Structure formats: structure tokens, C-alpha cells
């Protein structure tokens, strides 16, 4: 791949989605963009970048951005954050929001939907405690394609085998040919929307819990800081943020307080009493 084209793509992706392409990622670019080049009847990756260079902010730019995102996701990913959500965060929320009977959760890079749907299943476990409440899960992503898939709530056998306990498959899904379709009540709790984490969060409203998992790893420190500070600005004072297994706020943002004995989960203010241990 031509070095000039690689550098152009690096700048384009950094500006558009925050993705940092290190110089060793030529192979990744080729794997991701070659199928797209073929679909457009182009010979290879250099041709596709040349087309990007001349076409500016077209649909083509969207396709390249989406092709370069990593959409890997699974139900109840890493286990512990979801156990803590179910056993500590959610019961605390039900206590604290008893007056308004409302709470809002944001999955800030939701990919194909396994993360928000895992939360929807956990909230559904508590439906007797929250009759008449209006919980909301807002699930956003930069990829239109992945959001369209996520909205369907339909997963392959392989996807349901990754992280989903068999009892949950029985309780919340019905088989639909080669796919497993989630029940309507689980789908209906989640609202999917396009949102680029580089954009202003002003229109999103306030949230009680934010899952921002396995997306900051693709950004540089400055972008991570900007995203974390924006999340802090729309998180309730007693709100909680959950990051991915290899992500942290340390050395990046002072907006959050760690919870003793718990990795990757932070409060906006001190929340040791309710969540520690």
C-alpha cells in the first residue's frame, strides 16, 4: 500500500472517528478495505483511498469509516461488570430513584447490541420491583450498519453461545430459522441511535449509568480525555461509568473516582459506601 495513501487514511480516520492507526496496521487496512474496494469494482486499497481523497464527505467516506471499526461484542462481556450492575448498581438505582421512577443508561459504543440487551435482560429480572417505572437504555454507535443489525435483536447460534447462559436463551429468545430472536419486551427497552463519540453530547440528556466499554482503546490519550470529560458532564452526580477490561481513567481524566476493589468501574463522586467490595 502506498505510504502517502496510508498517511491520508490515518488522518482521515483520526479526524472522523478518533481511531488511531499505528504504522504496523497496513495489514488491517488491507483486510478491511479490500472487500469494500471489490464491491465498488475497484482493483485495490490504493484505488479506494484515491477515491476517498477526491470524494470528500460522501457516503463513500461513511463506508470506509464503518469498514475500519471493530465491532466485536458478546453478551455479558467479561461477566463481572454485569454482575456488579445487577447486584449493586441496579438495586441502588432503584432505591435512589424511587421518587422519580426513572433511570437512564447509556451504552456509548453498543456495536451489534449484545451489551444493551444484556442490560435489558438484567433489568427485566427486576420488573416486579419497577412496575410503573420508565427505565431507558440508549444504545449508540458510529456505525449505521451495525445499528441496523442491533435493532433487529436477532443473533446467530454462535453469537448466542458467546457469553449467554442457556437459561437466558430459553427465557428471552425464540428460534427463527438460523437465528435466535430476542423477545419484544427485551428489545423494546433499548433505543438505538447514531452517535459519534467525537461529537457534542449536549442533546443526549442526563444519564445515571454509562457503559463505555472497549472503544476508548482505539483512541489516543487526548481523545480519551475529551470523551471521558464529556461523559462526566452528562452523568448524574451519583452516576457510575463502566469501562472495558483493559481501559482505565488513571492518568487521563480526573472526572471520576475509583471504587475500591473494583476494576474499570468509577463514580462521578465518591460512591464507596454503595459499591465498594
Q: Can you give the binding site for ligand SAM, defined by CB under 6 A?
A: 17-18, 69-73, 77, 109-111, 115, 141-143, 146, 196-198, 213-215, 244
**Shortest gap between Cβ of 140 and ligand SAM (angstroms)?**
6
Q: Which is nearer to ligand SAM, 97 or 223 (CB)?
A: 223
Question: In sequence order, what are the beta bridge partners of 191?
Answer: 138
Q: Indicate the DSSP class of residue 250.
A: T
Q: What number of other Cβ atoms are within 10 A of residue 167's Cβ?
A: 8
- CB closer to ligand SAM, 239 vs 244: 244
Least separation, in Å, of the C-beta of 7 and ligand SAM?
20
Written as nine digits, the cell of 173 is 429468545
Nearer to ligand SAM by Cβ, of 91 and 163: the residue is 163
Q: Please, what sign has the CA dihedral across residues 252, 105, 139, 119?
A: positive
Q: Tell me the DSSP string of 52-68.
A: HHHH-SSHHHHHHHHHH
Calculate the dihedral angle through the C-alpha atoms of 16, 190, 73, 148, rounding to the nearest 10 degrees: -60
Nearest approach, Cβ of 156 to ligand SAM (angstroms)?
16
Shortest Å, Cβ 5 to ligand SAM: 21
When the beta carbons of 53 and 144 are compared against ligand SAM, the nearer one is: 144
CB of 14 to ligand SAM, least distance (A): 10
Q: Which phi-psi region, left, alpha or beta, contains residue 240 (left: φ > 0; alpha: ψ -120 to 50)?
A: beta
Nearer to ligand SAM, 110 or 252 (CB): 110
**Backbone dihedral region for residue 125 (phi beyond 0: left; psi -120 to 50: alpha; all else: beta):** alpha
Q: Which is nearer to ligand SAM, 73 or 253 (CB)?
A: 73
| Chain centroid, CA 40 distance in Å | 29
Instruction: Supply the minimum distance, in Å, between the C-beta of residue 117 and ligand SAM.
Output: 11
Instruction: Return the number of other C-beta atoms located less than 10 Å from residue 61's C-beta.
Output: 15
Amino acid at each position: 500500500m502506498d505510504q502517502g495513501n496510508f498517511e491520508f487514511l490515518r488522518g482521515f480516520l483520526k479526524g472522523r472517528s478518533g481511531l488511531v492507526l499505528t504504522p504496523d496496521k497496513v495489514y488491517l487496512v488491507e483486510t478491511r478495505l479490500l472487500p469494500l474496494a471489490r464491491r465498488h469494482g475497484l482493483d485495490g486499497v490504493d484505488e479506494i483511498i484515491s477515491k476517498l481523497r477526491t470524494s470528500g464527505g460522501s457516503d463513500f467516506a461513511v463506508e470506509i469509516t464503518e469498514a475500519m471499526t471493530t465491532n466485536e461484542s458478546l453478551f455479558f462481556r467479561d461477566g463481572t461488570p454485569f454482575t456488579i450492575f445487577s447486584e449493586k448498581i441496579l438495586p441502588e438505582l432503584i432505591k435512589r430513584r424511587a421518587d422519580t421512577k426513572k433511570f437512564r443508561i447509556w451504552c456509548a459504543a453498543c456495536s451489534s447490541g449484545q451489551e444493551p440487551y444484556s442490560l435489558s435482560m438484567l433489568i427485566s429480572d427486576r420488573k416486579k420491583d419497577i412496575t410503573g417505572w420508565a427505565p431507558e437504555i440508549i444504545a449508540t454507535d458510529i456505525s449505521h450498519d451495525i445499528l441496523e443489525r442491533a435493532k433487529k435483536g436477532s443473533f446467530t447460534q454462535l453469537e448466542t453461545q458467546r457469553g449467554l447462559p442457556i437459561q437466558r436463551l430459553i427465557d428471552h429468545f425464540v428460534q427463527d430459522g438460523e437465528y435466535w430472536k430476542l423477545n419484544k419486551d427485551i428489545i423494546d427497552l433499548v433505543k438505538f441511535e447514531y452517535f459519534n463519540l467525537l461529537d457534542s453530547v449536549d442533546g443526549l440528556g442526563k444519564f445515571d449509568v454509562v457503559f463505555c466499554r472497549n472503544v476508548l482503546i482505539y483512541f489516543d490519550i487526548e481523545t480519551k480525555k475529551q470523551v471521558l470529560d464529556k461523559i462526566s458532564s452528562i452523568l448524574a452526580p451519583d452516576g457510575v461509568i463502566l469501562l472495558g477490561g483493559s481501559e482505565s481513567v488513571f492518568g487521563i481524566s480526573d472526572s471520576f473516582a475509583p471504587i475500591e476493589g473494583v476494576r474499570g468501574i468509577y463514580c462521578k463522586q465518591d460512591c464507596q459506601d454503595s459499591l465498594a467490595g
